Copies of this chain bind each other. A is one copy, B any other.
Amino acid sequence: MRFRVHVSLKASVLDPQGQTIRSALNGQGHHAIADVRQGKYFDIEMAPGTGREQARAEVDLIARDVLANPVIEDFRVEELG
């Protein structure tokens, strides 16, 4: 069973890395790029035999406590099957 945890900065938090990428792209002639924001994701494979409910609960816990910083980041857990 696999899950993907998406972690992104909250919309209210500045993303200097994204701004730098946008600025570099504009400088390379890509003037149509108005904004870039960067995020990350974690593909998590659970050991065989883990129950679906238990796996989901564990991934939610890990996302909240370890992978994301809830002060400045949002996260979303997606089940990949």
Q: Which residues of A approach B to under 8 Å, CB–CB?
A: 6, 8, 18, 21, 24-25, 28, 30-48, 50, 54-55, 58, 62, 66-67
Q: A32-B58, A66-B25 are known contacts. Are A18 and B46 too (CB-CB below 8 A)?
A: no
The smallest beta-carbon distance between A63 and chain B, in angstroms, is 11
Residues of B within 8 A of A46 (CB): 32-34
Q: Is the CB–CB distance between B32 and A42 below 8 Å? A: no
The smallest beta-carbon distance between A17 and chain B, in angstroms, is 10
Residues of B within 8 A of A47 (CB): 31-34
Q: Is the CB–CB distance between A38 and B41 below 8 Å? A: yes
Residues of B within 8 A of A35 (CB): 43-45
A50 to B25: give the CA distance in the assembly, Å.
Answer: 16
